Amino acid sequence: MVHLILMRHCQSMWNAADLFTGWVDVPLSSKGIEEAISSGIEISKMQIDEIHTSTLIRAQMTAMIVMAQHSSAATPVFQYDSEGGDENQQKMNDWAQTRGDVEDIIPVYVSWKLNERMYGNLQGLNKTETRAKWGDEQIHIWRRSYDTPPPEGESLELTAARTIPYIQEVIMPSLNDGNCIFITAHGNSLRSIIMYLDDLSREEVLSLEVPTGQPIIYEMVDGKLQRK
């Protein structure tokens, strides 16, 4: 059975500190590492042919720690595309190639389109202090509304404008080719993806919560993804 596994990254250091994170690139906390190990054991026997993750280290750490628990002997290997990239990306594309006949590899694809919603001027601020300054209602609007972004940040609508095309143009063709895919991303990027996969309305997605470190599994049935 072809399947798609979605997972929000495990607890980060700024989740633990109750700070708005967005695109600030912070790692997992020690609790997050433990969560990732537990999550990895949970899906350790599920087939995984491709891994897709964001550019942010908390999602990448989650993916790699999860895969370290996997029953497969295959090695996750990051793929680099130098097209339109800088000199460093070109060098990685040219030099990070295997020379031996290595078959047991799971490709890892990284895309900014899977990144968390950018929280703009809220990034790095304490959530409790921000509520005290701006009020619960305003913070709720910035965090949970569909089309109202925080100052200088992204709304969920803007996030969906990059995540959904990635699902349509990259993930779905690979699933249709028979590949089982594991995606590690973020609360809001995954909310927008689940909105698309589950055909949720703009109103329904507002109450959607995506817990950290818990696999959400879809199976391909008659050409369509259905949540397991």
CA distance 17 to 129: 12
Taking only the tens place, the pLDDT of each residue in 191-226 is: 999 999 999 999 999 999 999 999 999 999 998 999
| Number of domains comprising the chain | 1
Which strands sit side by side in the sheet containing 50-53, from one edge to the other? 75-78, 105-110, 50-53, 181-185, 3-8, 216-221, 224-227
84 band by pLDDT with thresholds 50, 70 and 90: low
Catalytic, out of 9, 52, 70, 186: 9
Strands 75-78 and 3-8: unpaired
Taking only the tens place, the pLDDT of each residue in 8-21 is: 999 999 999 999 99
Query: What stretches of 19-167 show up as alpha helix (H) in DSSP?
Result: 30-42, 57-68, 87-95, 127-134, 136-144, 156-166
Cα-atom radius of gyration of the chain, to the nearest Å? 18
Q: Determine whether 116 is an active site residue.
A: yes
The answer as to whether 102 is a domain residue is no
The answer as to whether 100 is a domain residue is no
Among 14-23, 84-93, 128-137, 176-185, the minimum mean pLDDT is found in: 84-93
CA distance 173 to 18: 38
The answer as to whether 119 is a domain residue is yes
Q: Determine whether 42 is an active site residue.
A: no
Examine the pLDDT at 82 and tell me if it is beyond 60: no
Torsion sign across C-alpha atoms 4, 10, 12, 18: positive
Taking only the tens place, the pLDDT of each residue in 92-134 is: 878 877 777 777 999 999 999 999 999 999 999 999 999 999 9
CA distance 132 to 164: 34
Catalytic, out of 35, 50, 116, 154: 116
47 band by pLDDT with thresholds 50, 70 and 90: very high
- Residue 49 belongs to domain with CATH number: 3.40.50.1240
Which of the 8 DSSP states describes residue 28? B
**Counting runs of H as helices and runs of E as strands, what totals does the chain give?**
10, 7
- Residue 48 belongs to what domain range? 3-94+108-227
Are 153 and 115 in contact by the 8 Å Cβ rule? The answer is no
The answer as to whether 28 is a domain residue is yes
The answer as to whether 115 is a domain residue is yes
Examine the pLDDT at 152 and tell me if it is beyond 60: yes
